[in-house]
Structure 1
Amino acid sequence: MRLKGKITRWDDEKGFGFISGYGDGNSVFVHIKAFSRRSPRPEVGDIVSYEMAKGKNGKSRAEKVRFSAKTTLKKQSIGNRRSSSFPVLFTAVFVCFLFVVVYFNRVSWMVLAAYFAASLVTFFAYGWDKSAARLGRWRTAESSLHFMALAGGWPGALAAQRLLRHKSSKQEFLVVFWITVFLNVAAVGYLVWNGDATFIQRLIDGVWQM
């Protein structure tokens, strides 16, 4: 028999939370594995239906959790708004900017290569974190993901958010993420504009030699 309830607690980092059932108000444990792989990330306030089951420790837990039709439509609407073309256009403009400054020898081609490498590493880090969340393994700290974005991996992070649909709905994370993007782009733009981009080159050369 399927029951109905509302997610009243959810820890996205650890991938579990609690559902308060309608009627009795009792809370039941729920893990991210109880949701379909294609389901969006759960959030506090989501209305769901579920089946009761016993865990290995003998305690009750929710299984085969599904979002209500209303919650599904709400998440799809939010997802459509967040899948706007602005991030794609912004990334394309920035990449074109890098090609231009490389062409005119304002920075070395290694700067472009460094962005590509950082983006690739960041994309796989997002993929690993999503897999870990599904399997209940050790997660990658959000601070680490933000540092990767700040270090030049933000194009890969944006690609992961859109293609893997990971970290694309948590508002607090996205606010900090876009701050790291702004700081990275502003720093590179300032150095190129003032002719101090050799600092970037020296930094990359040092890392390359190490």
Structure 2
Amino acid sequence: MRKSGQLVDWNDDRGFGFIRDAEGERYFVHIKSISRIATRPLIGDQLDFDAGVDAQGRPRAINARIRGANPAPTRAVRSRGLPPVANEQRFDPRPWLAVGLLVLLIYDLALGLAPLWLGAGYLGIGVLSFGLYATDKHYARTNQWRISETMLHSIDLGFGIIGGLLAQSRFRHKTAKPGFALFTWCLAGLHALWLGGIAIGRIAPDDLANLLTLFG
């Protein structure tokens, strides 16, 4: 049955989102199910589509067409219309950066240059950061109240950066936002300087405790 609705959620990195029809029903839609257009789908677009279901019986939009969108030539579609596969295959430095930070941390702990509480902090808050990114990704997909970017950055700053980098890569979350990504790189660089400084003896872990007392 042909229906119409609004695109209320869209993950441009992975090329899928959700359409909500007039009755409030949500339909999953993949970029391959949308007619070729010159530009990417945007939240708020109005679409006409055929209502179907996936293998699990969940509502799915097929043969979707964005109202008012200009059709794209075949060549443009190949370069811009179907990027999810290319995006999934492109190199992502986040896991490698996370591994590098973890190696530095283990090095500092193994040589007794850093106290155990520092390792426990990176582990515990890293797990917390990973969980927050996973939760926010779920909220984005289900159109719920989101976790603020300030909160995510704050957790990453406070020893959560390894878990945050892994979560961004695993869930492809916040990776398409240049401002957020740039701030993440800055935080990762700060932690690298911190752990590297401990490794070469230029920074003492107690320096952080002394710094925190200034704000306590």
- Cα distance in structure 2, aligned partners of 1:165 and 1:178: 16
- Given the superposition, is the C-alpha separation of residues 88 and 103 from structure 1 closer, same or farther in structure 2, using an over 3 Å criterion? same
Cα displacement (A) at 1:50: 4.3
Query: Could you give the per-residue CA deviations for residues 156-183 of structure 1, whole angstroms, max 9, x where no partner exists?
Result: 1122122222222223321121111112
Residue of 191, 194, 206 corresponding to 1:198: 206
Q: How many positions carry a matched residue from both structures?
A: 171
- Cα distance in structure 1, aligned partners of 2:9 and 2:139: 16
2:85 corresponds to which residue? 76
- Given the superposition, is the C-alpha separation of residues 97 and 51 from structure 1 closer, same or farther in structure 2, using an over 3 Å criterion? same
Once the two structures are overlaid, the 10-residue window that deviates more, 164-173 or 150-159, is 164-173
Question: Secondary structure, in 3 states, of the residue corresponding to 1:119?
Answer: helix
- Cα distance in structure 1, aligned partners of 2:144 and 2:9: 17
RMSD over aligned CA atoms reads: 4.1
Structure 1 segment 98-137 matched on structure 2, within 5 A: 98-137=105-144
Letter in 1 for 2:182: V
Asked if 1 retains the 8 angstrom alpha-carbon contact of 2:94 and 2:169, the reply is no
**TM-score by structure 2 length?**
0.61
Cα displacement (A) at 1:191: 4.8
- Given the superposition, is the C-alpha separation of residues 10 and 129 from structure 1 closer, same or farther in structure 2, using an over 3 Å criterion? closer
1:159 corresponds to which residue? 166
- What are structure 2's unaligned runs of at least 5 residues? 12-16, 32-38, 52-59, 66-76
2:156 corresponds to which residue? 149
Structure 1 or 2: larger helix share?
1
Cα displacement (A) at 1:93: 2.5
**TM-score by structure 1 length?**
0.62
Letter in 2 for 1:169: A
- Given the superposition, is the C-alpha separation of residues 163 and 10 from structure 1 closer, same or farther in structure 2, using an over 3 Å criterion? closer
